[in-house]
Structure 1
């Protein structure tokens, strides 16, 4: 019989793991793969950090439209 636990908080996981181990269960950890490219995620997070630190550029809609032409 297989039991699957979903949406377990990280702080609760060691408790489940130790309980399963003490009962002699086999533990198989499966990590979910992100559908996003890790490099893309890194760029987005860096961009958000840059904006918070004041390294962004403010543009008007007219400037943006002119840039896109």
Structure 2
């Protein structure tokens, strides 16, 4: 299966999405906006899990100075 990235003018997106969804051989249709929302939620969930591990003592927190040095 191939994945294709297409750049479409904003005003043409609704028409294009309807067209693509009408094709039976297309399995999944995502817009960049949907993908970024999913990624944000995934990253947030991961961050909360890490904080919970630190609070439970299962993971050691990184000192702020080390974090800032990485930037």
TM-score range, shorter chain: 0.3 to 0.5
- TM-score, normalised on structure 2? 0.37
State the TM-score, normalizing by the size of structure 1.
Answer: 0.38
